[in-house]
Amino acid sequence: MLPSLLVLGLTTTLASAEPAQATVDLATADADALAQAAGLEGDLAVAIVALRDERGSLASVEELRILPGMDDASLARVRRHTSVTLDLPVQKNRRAYTKVEEVLAQFNQEPSVADVQQMAMEYSHTHRHQVEAWLEASKSAAYLPELQLRYYYYDRMNTGYEYVVDEQGNANPDPADADTDRDHVYQVTLKWKLDDLVMSSERIRVISEAQDVVKLRDKVLGEVTRVYFDRRRLQVDSLLSPSGDIKSQVENQLRLMELTAELDALTGGRFSRALAAK
């Protein structure tokens, strides 16, 4: 009978036969133990524990790639000095399936491919509704006029004096008759560009960027769909034709973990969170 649990030490054996290093269980070790075993900064070890608590478990060291500061060197140390507990089901009283629907129904508790595609679009900000909102905003932007506000202040003196003849017969201007003119003038101007109402340079720019986003979305969705069904085919194959030797079971389990990690990378970890919520 095969054991129900197998603990794999994911370590690297060097040709120089370096001394064996102590490992800690990635599923249970606290931040201090991780920092000491793998030589990590304290903040990075705390982030690993936080990610594990958020997802409920860590099935692979590869899941840690999304953490800020987790470079290849740090990831290699974690891989070398930690172990991962794999839950391998015991195959007994295997059910005989006669219909395709019966087989696929075994995975109904997992997110559908459409669900995972939505997760990927949300994570990559390439959702169709978002692109349409950008295009609509660029179109309506031309409806807003250019606003100009001017203010003028006039302080003038009227020099149209009346002249008064004095006793000597001289005509002299009478300053008391001078008028002053002080005005405050406000001017508001609204200006529309008629050509922008048809097609503005801003809308042309947004259309060009939207096309790039659509290409990125198609690429992301294609990759997500491929990985999703690679994972599902592996699940179906393991269900219908389970391997009899432990080595093949471990290889299949590791491949399943790898595909799960790829989906997490494409969805920002949403896939594993959805699995844990089911």
Q: Kindly list the distances between the CA atom of residue 133 and the CA atoms of 82, 138, 195, in Å, as whole numbers in the listed order.
A: 46, 9, 22
Q: Kindly list the distances between the CA atom of residue 160 and the CA atoms of 137, 175, 182, 217, in Å, as whole numbers in the listed order.
A: 58, 10, 16, 77
* Reported pTM: 0.48
Backbone angles phi, psi at 185, to 5 degrees: -120, 125
Q: How many CA atoms lie within 13 A of 163 on its CB side?
A: 5
How many angstroms separate the CA atoms of 222 and 226, rounded?
Answer: 6
pLDDT tens for the chain, 278 residues: list them: 334 333 333 333 333 344 445 688 888 889 888 888 888 887 888 999 898 888 878 877 888 888 888 888 888 888 888 887 665 554 544 677 889 999 999 999 999 999 999 999 989 888 777 766 666 666 666 667 778 888 877 666 565 556 667 777 777 766 665 556 667 888 888 776 766 666 666 666 666 777 778 888 899 999 999 999 999 999 999 888 887 788 888 899 999 999 999 999 999 999 999 988 86
